[in-house]
Structures are given as C-alpha cells and as structure tokens.
Amino acid sequence: MSFKYPPSAFSRLLEQFELDLNLSDEQAAFMEEGVEFSLSEDQMDDVVRQIASVIEPRVFLEEYAETVTPIRMSLYVLNDDLWAMMQRKPWEDDRGRMLAMTTIPLCTWEHSEERVSNPKGAKRWEVKPNKMRVSWKRGRTLSITGEGGDFAGFIERSHRTARKWSMPESRQLIPNYEFVTIFLQLTLDGARVTTRPLPRDELDYDFSESGKFFYDHGVMLEMPGENVLLKSGKRRPYRMKGNAVILLGLHDPEDAYRDLLASLWFRILAREVGGV
C-alpha cells in the first residue's frame, strides 16, 4: 500500500484531473468520514494511466517538476576507489556501507547530536529552496540545482570541536560534508527507476535522508556513473565513475496534496523512463 493521505488530497486530485479512483467500500467510507487512507499499488498505477490519458507523460513531468521541490536527494557512487576510502570509517562494522557522495539537504557530524539513538552524531539540516527540471530535447535528462552537502573525505573530530588535540577521541575520523551549491544532471537513457525503493544494505543512510524516507516519499534511479554530471561549489563539472544510485524524495507535512502529486510524478517518471 502507498502512503496514507487525507480525503482532501484525493478530492483535489479528482478536481484537477477528473479521475476515477475506483475506491473500495471501505475506502469510500474513509473518504466520506474524513479519515486518512491509502490507495493500493494497482489503484495508484491506474491513476497514473488515467493521468497519462489526459496529459502526455513528458508534458506532465516538465510542467509539474516544480511541484516536487524542494527536492531531497542523495547521490551514491559505487566504485573501487570509494570502497577503499570507506575503510577509513571509524565504525568498523560500517565499512561495508557507502556514504553518500552528495546530499540535499546538508548532513554533517555534530558533537552536540551524539546520543544513544544517534551514536554517529549525524545532523540533517533544513532543506533550502531548489530547482528540478526534466528535458527531452537533447536526450532525456533530469537536472537539480540547489544547496546541500558534498563529501570531502574524512577529517579528525578536532577540526569541528574545541577539544584539545591530546584528547584521544579528538583524533577520531568523521565524514566531512561541505556546504556547497550543487548542480546535478542525470542522463536518463538506460536508467532503472524504482518507486518506493527498499533500503539497500550497501548504502549508508546516516548522513543522508533515511532509507525509510525515500521508501515512503521517493524514488530510486540507478545508472552508469558516466550518465551523472556533478558540479559542486567552485569545482569544474565532472562525471562519476562506476555505478550511481540516486534517491529523490519530497515530503511536505503541511500540504498533503503536494505529497500525493509528487508520488504520482515519481511513478510517471518510472513509467516514462522504464522502471519498477
């Protein structure tokens, strides 16, 4: 089942696209009583088909891309060099999981955030306004421009705290994410798109939005690294090596309709590009 939405979100969807949700008796009762409910996967797929009959999928993706912002994004790059770098992680049992290369929003280590429930001291900052665009003019591309974090290797904790160098814990390494302006362009030809992606064991979500967040509110794109162009801060644009996994998501607790429309946008993207 998909994420639960209030009846008001479904009502706005019906008004905008003149759809038939084909509700069950129980769902119809929830709709009448104002109780949140979810559509089945088959029902969501049927809604996507109905929208595609009203507006061409490519046009929908272009015109409604702004609805899916501010987007939350995590880019993972899997190659031998980065796996070797992961062996520098201070958490030995975590070295088989890849840290995100780039994230929106910024995620950092903060000493004040360390606690039993968050032993790595990871802090997710607020997402800032950003832009997303899809284009079919020169190949199929999706681009994102916004502010976030760029992985810059590991540094000692002492660089981020006032503790003395002589303190043993001050020498422990932590992931270093720099706050930068990010431009990410994905070439979608040959990409594999998965809606409601399950968390993957080889990915480290601690300095990223959580795997559960992307499962509930997002989509996963997998592609060769050469199809990913990244410009972070003042660095020149460069293409990734190896394989790339890109997670996109949106959740607006104050606007359930935007959440619902974003979920449908991700499904239409998967339908148009080729996904599961």
- Cβ pair 43, 22 in contact under 8 A: yes
The pLDDT of 261-276, averaged and rounded, is 90
What per-residue confidence (pLDDT) applies to 158?
72
Paired tokens of 109: 């280590």
Distances (CA, A) of 273 to 6, 14, 104, 207, 263: 29, 25, 23, 28, 16
Average pLDDT on 72-77 reads: 99
Contacts of 33 (CB under 8 A, 6+ apart): none
The residue to which tokens 């020149």 are assigned = 236
Q: Is the pTM of this model over 0.85?
A: yes
Query: How many angstroms separate the CA atoms of 241 and 99, rounded?
Result: 15
Task: Give 51-71 as a DSSP string.
Answer: HHHHS-HHHHHHHTGGGG-S-
Band the pLDDT of 177: cuts 50, 70, 90.
very high
What's the CA gap between 227 and 106, in Å, rounded? 23
Residue 144: predicted pLDDT: 98
Which region among 6-10, 50-54, 160-164, 199-203 has the lowest average model confidence (pLDDT)?
A: 160-164
Give 12-40 pLDDT, tens digit per residue. Answer: 999 999 899 999 999 999 999 999 999 99
